[in-house]
Structure 1
Amino acid sequence: MMAVMKIKVEYPFKPTTNQYLLPGQFLAGLMGWVGGNPPVAEDLVGCKIVEQGSVHIKTIRETGLDGKILGHRPLALDEIEADYFRSQESFDGCMLLKGFKELRPITREE
C-alpha cells in the first residue's frame, strides 16, 4: 500500500507547477462572482461556474493577484463538477477527460 503524503498549504501561495494543484483552489476560472476585494472561500458560497476550461500554469503565475492561489473551497460544497474535455486536438490517442481525470479513449462522436 502506497502512503499518501499530506502537505500543509498556506494561502495565498505562488505555484511553481500545476502538479499539486487541487480542484477548488481559486484564482483561474470564470465564476458568477463579483467583488471589490479578492475572494475568500466564504465569498464563493453558492457561486456557479460560468465557463470551464484549462489554463497553462503561466496564466496563474503571470496574471491576477501577483500570480497566487488565494484559497481552496471544495467544489462539492456548491455541487460543482468538472466538465468533460478532450486530451488533445488531434483524434489519434485522444482521451475523454472529466476535469483532468482520464476516463477512456474518446469516440469520434464525442
Structure 2
Amino acid sequence: MGRHPGYPFDPRSTAYVRSGDFWAIPTRRGGWYCCGQVLGFPAFGDRRSIIVGLLDWCEPDLPIADSIVGAGVLDYGDTHVKTVRETGGTLLGHSTPPVVRGLDNPDLGAWGYKVIEGLAHLHFGRHFPEEPHPAVERPMGISG
C-alpha cells in the first residue's frame, strides 16, 4: 500500500479508508450538512464494504474533526465505499469514532448507497423551515 493521499480525498476503494474518517452529507433543504463517519470494517464480506454511521450532528458548515467530537451515532450499517461519493463526495478528515456496540455482528444490516442520505434527511432535513433559506437555526430533529 502506498502513502495516504491526505484529506480531502475521494475513496475509490478501502485501501486508504480508516475507522474515524468522515464526510459531509448536504441536507436537501436548509443549506446545512449532516455527517457520516466510517465506524469500522465488516469481518466478513466484500473488501469494498465499510461500516458507516450517521452522526447526531447537523451544522451550517462542513464537519471538521473538532466539531464532531462527542456526537452520538443515530444509526449505522454495512455499505459499499461508493456511498461516500454518492452522498457527499469526499472524505474530509479523521476523528476518533464513537464506540458503538454490535459492529461485529455478522447480521449487520446492509445499506444501499443512498440509505445514509435518506436517514439524514428524515432525521434533520425535513424539519428545516422553508424560509429563510438557508436556515439560521438547527432543527430539533426527530429525537428532539
TM-score (norm: length of structure 2): 0.47
- CA gap of 1:36–1:86, structure 2 versus 1, over 3 A, is same
Q: Over aligned residue pairs, what C-alpha RMSD do you find?
A: 2.5
Match of residue 29 from structure 2? none
SS in 1 for 2:66: helix
Report the Cα distance in structure 2 between the residues aligned to 1:37 and 1:88, rounded to whole angstroms: 31
CA contact (8 A) 2:56 2:72 kept: yes
Report the Cα distance in structure 2 between the residues aligned to 1:88 and 1:34, rounded to whole angstroms: 25
Alignment of 1:1-110 (within 5 A): 7-27=3-23, 28=36, 29-64=53-88, 67-75=89-97, 78=98, 80-81=99-100, 83-86=103-106
The amino acid across from 2:56 in the alignment is: G
Q: Hey, which bits of structure 1, 4+ residues long, moved more than 2 A?
A: 5-9, 81-85
Report the Cα distance in structure 1 between the residues aligned to 2:75 and 2:108, rounded to whole angstroms: 19
- CA gap of 1:73–1:88, structure 2 versus 1, over 3 A, is closer
Aligned-residue offset at 1:59 = 1.2
The amino acid across from 2:6 in the alignment is: E
Residues 30-83 of structure 1 show CA distances to partners (whole Å, capped at 9, x for unaligned) of 11111001100000111111111122122112222xx100110022xx5x2462
CA contact (8 A) 2:9 2:90 kept: yes
**Number of residues paired by the alignment?**
80
Report the Cα distance in structure 2 between the residues aligned to 1:73 and 1:9, rounded to whole angstroms: 17
Extract unaligned runs of 5+ from structure 2: 24-35, 37-52, 110-144
- Whichever structure has more strand as a proportion of its residues is 2
SS in 1 for 2:9: coil
Larger radius of gyration: 1
The amino acid across from 1:43 in the alignment is: S
TM-score (norm: length of structure 1): 0.60
